[in-house]
Structure 1
Amino acid sequence: MAATTGGTARKGGRWIEEWDPEDEGFWAEKGERIARRNLWFSVLSEHIGFSVWSLWSVMVLFMGPEYGLDPADKFFLVAVPTLVGGVLRVPYTFAVAKFGGRNWTIISALMLLVPTTAAWMVMEPGTSYLTFILVASLTGVGGGNFASSMTNINSFYPLRKKGWALGLNAGGGNIGVPVIQLVGLLVIGTAGAASPHIVLGIYIPLAVVSAVLCALFMDNLAPVKNDTGAAKDAARDPHTWIMSVLYIGTFGSFIGYSFAFGLVLQNQFAQTPLQAASLTFIGPLLGSLIRPVGGKLADRFGGARISLWNYAAMGAATLVVIYASAQKSLPVFLVGFIALFVLSGLGNGSTFKMIPGIFQAKAVRKGLTGEAAASYGRRLSGASMGLIGAVGALGGLGINLAFRQAFMTGGSGTPAFVSFLVYYALCLAVTWAVYLRRPAPEPHARTEEAQRPAYAEV
């Protein structure tokens, strides 16, 4: 199939020439059907990507004393993929426009074969720690999938439906974390802790299946083009970095806790690998399932309002975890920690919904209306999502390094949780001050509209 854009022929892919989701007639006639189809297969690919990204949070449960690694080694091992995945999110964002959303989804799915095959080759006692670090770093490609997937789906949906669509896309991908942990539990419970290759044998063919299905059913959007000017504008805009700080508090918590949960249970509560594996999937699963709900609530009430209350609730849950750690109460700890997962998932949906809303609001304040305002919002929100997603993922690195330091120095994760509590308080204050606080009325400003928060509806 060939298509043309600006006189240039496009060959060898499913290219959609014209796309205007804000046109309600176009959306009702065919846009929604096409967008939904691409969403489902984007979710599939991102789901497997997240599973591969979190692969080593499962592999460390198989690594007994014969591997010669202490808790600090293991915390650093699961932190490395977070760092690499966060960095890769920036180029993955621009790959969608460079290669086409469908085409890049196929490529990124096939790239998952590299870390899974490498892990198959080295996963045995006697392998050097440096080799494990290098192979674990390869799984960062799974983390990069999130940025390209979200950028792609953001282009398919109108602003009024972005919160739900982005939440569903991200939530379906996030579920890859608990799913691979469930697979690890099943393997440990049936074949034993000496059989990590079974997990890898499941995900190697799944990556191939994902690539084939995306090739058959997804589309490229020809109007989506890289705009280096938009990237520069997004990087210069303070809201990109403010939202990055907020996203560290939600997504950084989700991915950091997901990678560290099993190790915390083993080292703080002396759980066996099987006992840890039987609990680790619960939090990531609930946090993933609720992410679309966060987006839906943000669509209705405003992402800033939902995020504000969510950070307050995350602070309360952290206090429960700190209390449980001091009392050495595993049941109370689990209640607090799982609540943190649920709230991080809810906040993921609400904070990401804020991004297109912020830039749409800026367009309106500039005097733009209609398609001009929508185009401005899409341009900057799409460019900023990669940066925000990358910085947010690096929050997971910070969480694992904080746990590593806490267990090295005190044998407990409590100091790390105290630092997380302080960060959630910071996020709450920033959300209120920047997006909800009513500004001082300007002289002669008498209307209610003039005294509303600048971004009350984001």
Structure 2
Amino acid sequence: MTAPTTTAAAHKGGRWIEQWDPEDEVFWERTGERIARRNLLWSVFSEHIGFSIWSLWSVMVLFMGPEYGIDPAGKFFLIGTATLVGAIARVPYTFAVARFGGRNWTVFSALTLLLPTGAAYAVMEPGTSYTTFVVVSALTGVGGGNFASSMTNINSFFPLRRKGWALGLNAGGGNIGVPVVQLVGLLVIGTAGAAHPRVVLGVYIPLIVAAAVCAALFMDNLAPVRNDAGAAREAVRDRHTWIMSVLYTGTFGSFIGYSFAFGLVLQTQFGRTPLQAASLTFIGPLLGSLIRPVGGRLADQYGGARITLGNFAAMAVATAVVILASMTGSLAVFLTGFVALFLLTGLGNGSTYKMIPGIFHAQAVARGMTGEAAAAHGRRLSGASMGLIGAVGALGGLAINLAFRQSFGSVGTGTAAFVAFLVFYAGCAALTWAVYLRKEAPGAAVAQPEPRLGFAEV
């Protein structure tokens, strides 16, 4: 296998690697791993800043006291708007990598973050209309799109045997942007006070510029990565794309929804002050982010389906604890159950994302493909499906915030919302078992185009 080369004549406007085959072990050990790790590092940095900006309004609402004239339902709608736009942005961001190059798009998408940050800096004060806040909140959705392009890009750099670790690390490092911006908010509230939200925004403007500069200097574009309209259509028709969308809604959708809403729930249901809420809000998202690569590693070792099944069962138990705490008004038990939920969403994020390339590779093997042909099929369909799965999964965050908004508006607590979440997690566990782990009855394999047992190791 020849070493990767850069050909300016073939591609203009960036650093392009013309040949890339991570499944070739000789190539991988000689040059591929070093290049892939470098791109992973700076991808994590850029995605990290993107997540911080996407979750910006989970912090801004903590600064919005009575003088802003916005009730809890209105605040839940603000963070829900950011979630919705971020979910939608994931679809075009997925295909942008192949169209413009992973490095080039990372530079552009990082610089785009200056728009919502600058807009928030301009309007974040009492007297601004609620409509203006909604529009500015919507702009932060571009940060949610960064995740899809980053994951699609890194998926192309690593071999199948390392995808669980690489995707888990990339996503986990990005997810940490949520607790970091919340920690910045805590620091500002604890020092300058709740009347100075612009300090948070001022911190992130130079970091956005740094992310764009580092991507330009140290990342690469992969010429072999191409948008495949046929693969996209095939992925949309494949039932596993939609099954994994549901499962990813249960893991990542829960993570981002809880991350955005946690501080507001503490203020609304338990009467915490902005400083008290901010001092607790970051803990769950931080632990959930740090453990995500562990979920990917466990999936690499034991199979993503097995880890995902156990994870959803544990999420149902943790949610039951939160319901009990919500009904009894115990903040200590509530925090225990909620932090456990965050940890489990992180584990599940890693295991579900590992399943995606594994499922499509298993399909190829079941159809008689071997070696590079099977690996190429897996890369082709998993790359095409990741944007859609990521977008649908992120919509789970919107559903969580809307459920909280309805629950608090109707009964004054979040208990009803948590009951709905418990039922959903139980359904996800049943779906994982039924599709990917249930053994076939004798003779059933004849009627199945894809042997069910072939998915047990994904």
Give me the TM-score of the superposition, normalised by structure 2.
0.97
Contact 2:253/2:394 (8 A) holds in 1: yes
Contact 2:23/2:160 (8 A) holds in 1: yes
Structure 1: runs of 5 or more not aligned: none
Deviation at 1:444, TM superposition (A): 10
Correspondence 1:415 to 2:405: no
Deviation at 1:4, TM superposition (A): 4.7
Contact 2:50/2:110 (8 A) holds in 1: yes
Contact 2:7/2:17 (8 A) holds in 1: no
Correspondence 1:66 to 2:83: no
Correspondence 1:118 to 2:125: no
SS at match of 1:441: coil
Aligned partner of 2:112: which letter? M
The one-character-per-residue Cα deviations of 1:113-171 (angstroms, maximum 9, x if unpaired) are 00000000100000000000000000000000000000000000000000000000000
Aligned partner of 1:256: which letter? G
In structure 2, C-alpha distance between the alignment counterparts of 1:44 and 1:451, rounded to whole Å: 40
Correspondence 1:331 to 2:332: yes
1:316 aligned residue: 317
In structure 2, C-alpha distance between the alignment counterparts of 1:451 and 1:96, rounded to whole Å: 33
In structure 2, C-alpha distance between the alignment counterparts of 1:322 and 1:361, rounded to whole Å: 39
Deviation at 1:443, TM superposition (A): 7.4
SS at match of 2:353: helix
In structure 1, C-alpha distance between the alignment counterparts of 2:319 and 2:304, rounded to whole Å: 22
The one-character-per-residue Cα deviations of 1:393-428 (angstroms, maximum 9, x if unpaired) are 000000000000000000000000000000000000
2:96 aligned residue: 95
Structure 1 residues 273 and 353: CA distance shift in structure 2, 3 A: same
1:195 aligned residue: 196
Correspondence 1:454 to 2:454: yes
In structure 2, C-alpha distance between the alignment counterparts of 1:385 and 1:405, rounded to whole Å: 30
SS at match of 1:9: coil
Q: Percent identity?
A: 76
Contact 1:440/1:451 (8 A) holds in 2: no
Aligned positions of 1:105-184 closer than 5 A? 105-184=106-185
Deviation at 1:13, TM superposition (A): 1.0
Deviation at 1:348, TM superposition (A): 0.2
In structure 1, C-alpha distance between the alignment counterparts of 2:79 and 2:149, rounded to whole Å: 23
Structure 2: runs of 5 or more not aligned: none
In structure 1, C-alpha distance between the alignment counterparts of 2:144 and 2:14, rounded to whole Å: 25
Contact 2:436/2:452 (8 A) holds in 1: no
Aligned partner of 2:454: which letter? A
Deviation at 1:40, TM superposition (A): 0.2
In structure 1, C-alpha distance between the alignment counterparts of 2:32 and 2:415, rounded to whole Å: 50
Aligned partner of 1:401: which letter? L
Deviation at 1:453, TM superposition (A): 1.7
1:259 aligned residue: 260
Contact 1:438/1:451 (8 A) holds in 2: no
Deviation at 1:3, TM superposition (A): 4.5
In structure 2, C-alpha distance between the alignment counterparts of 1:258 and 1:294, rounded to whole Å: 19
Deviation at 1:452, TM superposition (A): 6.5
Aligned partner of 2:107: which letter? I
1:228 aligned residue: 229
The one-character-per-residue Cα deviations of 1:63-122 (angstroms, maximum 9, x if unpaired) are 000000000000011100100000000000000000000000000000000000000010
Give me the TM-score of the superposition, normalised by structure 1.
0.97
Structure 1 residues 452 and 9: CA distance shift in structure 2, 3 A: closer
In structure 2, C-alpha distance between the alignment counterparts of 1:4 and 1:267, rounded to whole Å: 57
In structure 2, C-alpha distance between the alignment counterparts of 1:227 and 1:453, rounded to whole Å: 29
In structure 1, C-alpha distance between the alignment counterparts of 2:229 and 2:442, rounded to whole Å: 37
In structure 1, C-alpha distance between the alignment counterparts of 2:28 and 2:253, rounded to whole Å: 34
Deviation at 1:12, TM superposition (A): 2.6
Correspondence 1:343 to 2:344: yes
1:433 aligned residue: 434
Correspondence 1:292 to 2:307: no
In structure 2, C-alpha distance between the alignment counterparts of 1:457 and 1:335, rounded to whole Å: 32
In structure 2, C-alpha distance between the alignment counterparts of 1:213 and 1:3, rounded to whole Å: 19
In structure 2, C-alpha distance between the alignment counterparts of 1:12 and 1:349, rounded to whole Å: 34
The one-character-per-residue Cα deviations of 1:279-305 (angstroms, maximum 9, x if unpaired) are 000000000000000000000000000
1:355 aligned residue: 356
Aligned partner of 1:417: which letter? F
SS at match of 2:10: strand
SS at match of 1:453: helix
1:386 aligned residue: 387
Aligned partner of 1:47: which letter? H
Aligned partner of 1:77: which letter? L
In structure 1, C-alpha distance between the alignment counterparts of 2:103 and 2:243, rounded to whole Å: 31
The one-character-per-residue Cα deviations of 1:145-201 (angstroms, maximum 9, x if unpaired) are 000000000000000000000000000000000000000000000000000000000
Deviation at 1:11, TM superposition (A): 1.8
Runs of 4+ displaced beyond 6 Å: none
Aligned partner of 1:134: which letter? V
In structure 2, C-alpha distance between the alignment counterparts of 1:199 and 1:4, rounded to whole Å: 42
In structure 1, C-alpha distance between the alignment counterparts of 2:151 and 2:254, rounded to whole Å: 19
Contact 2:78/2:134 (8 A) holds in 1: yes
The one-character-per-residue Cα deviations of 1:5-32 (angstroms, maximum 9, x if unpaired) are 9xx7212311001000000000000000
Contact 2:44/2:171 (8 A) holds in 1: yes
Correspondence 1:269 to 2:252: no
The one-character-per-residue Cα deviations of 1:247-294 (angstroms, maximum 9, x if unpaired) are 000000000000000000001000000000000000000000000000
Length, aligned pairs only: 451
Deviation at 1:439, TM superposition (A): 1.2
Structure 1 residues 24 and 409: CA distance shift in structure 2, 3 A: same
SS at match of 1:146: helix
Contact 1:103/1:220 (8 A) holds in 2: yes
SS at match of 1:454: helix
2:49 aligned residue: 48
